[in-house]
């Protein structure tokens, strides 16, 4: 069973601060996805990274896929209260794998 | 375009009963996946259906079953409910294997 470990589990910061969330595994993934989930709603896809070493930016969010495709990080610059939510990483293990493996998530609270 | 619709939003059942949850995917999406989300275990894959065929199944007991209809709508059934089955059950649809998952807002099941 392939596992994705996310850290930290909980994060509470002040508005304007920067933060990084990590997603690590001992297994190789063909691609990794990041989702954000708000209370009472389903997860919403933020980004997919496919190539080892890939960096993608989405406004104040920067996503990186590790060179060995075993880990990923999400960096948020100048966090805002609207960034509050549960951040989940998820990965497909390879071609023909239809099952997404999810990390347990990082619960982020941004205090105004 | 309507999103993924799950019904009902909330369910309260008694231990030993059975329950059926429904999911209507985005129009044109032939793949439907089901996930169980709990605070302790996070999001865990139950199964995926594609064109009415189950093509992958997670590590859940046989009490958990599902099916997909010709219009791509899917149902999930849990028999002989246990207290530990209390969770948020999420359905997700996608157009193809390389397409992103679109989640519904889930059904919150409470077993008493």
Tens digits of residue pLDDT in B43-98 = 999 999 999 999 889 999 999 999 999 999 999 999 999 999 999 999 999 988 77
Residues of A in contact with B35 (CB under 8 A): 102
How many A×B Cβ pairs under 8 Å? 51
A19: left (phi over 0), alpha (psi -120 to 50) or beta: beta
CB–CB contact A42 B103 (8 Å): yes
Q: Which of B65, B9, B103, B5 has its CA nearest to residue A90?
A: B103
Among partner residues A1, A33, A99, which is closest to B56 by beta-carbon distance?
Answer: A99
Rounded Cα distance between B86 and B11, Å, is 10
Task: Give tens-digit pLDDT for B28-49.
Answer: 999 999 999 998 899 999 999 9
| pLDDT tens digit sequence for A1-12 | 568 999 999 999
């Amino acid at each position: 069973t392939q596992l994705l470990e996310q850290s930290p589990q909980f994060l509470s910061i002040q508005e304007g601060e920067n933060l990084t969330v990590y997603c690590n595994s001992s297994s190789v993934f063909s691609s990794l996805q990041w989702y954000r989930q708000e209370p009472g709603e389903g997860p919403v896809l933020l980004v997919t990274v496919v190539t080892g070493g890939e960096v993608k930016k989405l406004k104040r969010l920067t996503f990186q896929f590790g060179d060995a495709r075993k880990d990923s990080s999400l960096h948020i610059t100048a966090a805002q209260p609207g960034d509050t939510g549960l951040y989940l990483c998820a990965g497909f293990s390879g071609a023909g794998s239809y099952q997404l493996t999810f990390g347990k998530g990082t619960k982020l609270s941004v205090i105004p | 375009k309507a999103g993924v619709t799950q019904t009902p939003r909330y369910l309260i059942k008694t231990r030993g009963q059975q329950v059926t949850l429904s999911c209507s995917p985005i129009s044109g999406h032939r793949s439907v996946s089901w996930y169980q989300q709990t605070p302790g275990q996070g999001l865990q894959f139950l199964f995926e259906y594609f064109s009415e065929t189950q093509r992958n199944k997670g590590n859940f007991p046989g009490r958990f079953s599902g099916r997909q209809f010709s219009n791509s709508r899917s149902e999930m059934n849990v028999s002989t409910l246990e207290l530990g089955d209390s969770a948020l059950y999420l359905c997700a649809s996608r157009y193809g294997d390389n397409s992103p998952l679109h989640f519904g807002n889930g059904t919150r099941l409470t077993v008493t």
